[in-house]
Amino acid sequence: MTTTAGGSVSVQQMQHEKIMRAAKQPMSGQQVLKKSVQLINNAAGASLNQNFIAKADLDALMIAIMSERAELLEETLREQVQEVRAKNNKLKTANKMMAEARKAKSHSKEKEDSPMPKEVAQFFADNDIPWGKQNEKIDPSKTYQLNSGEWDLAIENMKGWSESLTSSSQLDMTKLQSTSGKFNQTFEMMSQFISKYYRSGDAIIKNI
């Protein structure tokens, strides 16, 4: 028996509270897979250390396949989410750099140059964006002086790069939604099979 500030709590109560807390927390793909394997072993009449496939029925094998698929889809989802976030961060940086470029352009005229900020030059170099009429590439170790027309061309190239990245990001979002739908569908089917085994187990216990 464990004593708390409010009095004593029985072991049964502690176990009940632990179960209730666990029930409120969604299982990860790995936890679902582990739980599914346990259920499959029970359904197939195999021990924890025994290969259940030899004894498993078709439903049990379906759960095994769907568990593996759900795990793979979860990994794919995580990778796709990271890719989308990385591109979104690049787009945020691009918008910031274009604002800096426009600010630098405001200090230039047709026959009067203004220096390219180092962070803008570094952004051009990091993303391999050309800036001149001959599609020159930026060397961030050098200093660049641009007139108003050259700034217009540089900013236009930044816009083109940003629009291309936006299109790519939208395509990634479409793929992400598709993968998410497949994961939800697989998880729902697997849940239905698992519920079936729970009901079967309850029926067996009641008949004992």
Averaged pLDDT for residues 63-80: 84
Averaged pLDDT for residues 93-115: 88
Q: Is the pLDDT of residue 103 over 60?
A: yes
3-state secondary structure of 208: coil
Tokens of 50: 């025994």
3-state secondary structure of 143: coil
Range in 33-47, 68-82, 116-130, 140-154 the model is least confident about: 33-47
Phi-psi domain of 135 (left: phi exceeds 0; alpha: psi -120 through 50; beta: other) = left
Q: Is the pLDDT of residue 46 over 70?
A: no
- DSSP conformation class of 28: P
Averaged pLDDT for residues 183-198: 77
- Sequence-separated (6 or more) residues with CB below 8 Å from residue 53: 44, 61, 64
- The predicted pLDDT at position 7 comes to 43
**Contact in structure between 73 and 79 (CB atoms under 8 Å):** no
> What is the domain partition of the chain in residue ranges?
10-207
- The predicted pLDDT at position 133 comes to 73
Q: How many CA atoms are closer than 13 Å to the CA of 140, on its beta-carbon side?
A: 12
Averaged pLDDT for residues 58-66: 71
- The predicted pLDDT at position 120 comes to 94
pLDDT digits (tens, 9 = 90+) for 153-189: 999 999 999 999 999 999 999 999 999 898 888 878 8
- Please give the mean pLDDT across all residues of the chain: 75
- CA nearest neighbour of 29 among 64, 74, 66: 74
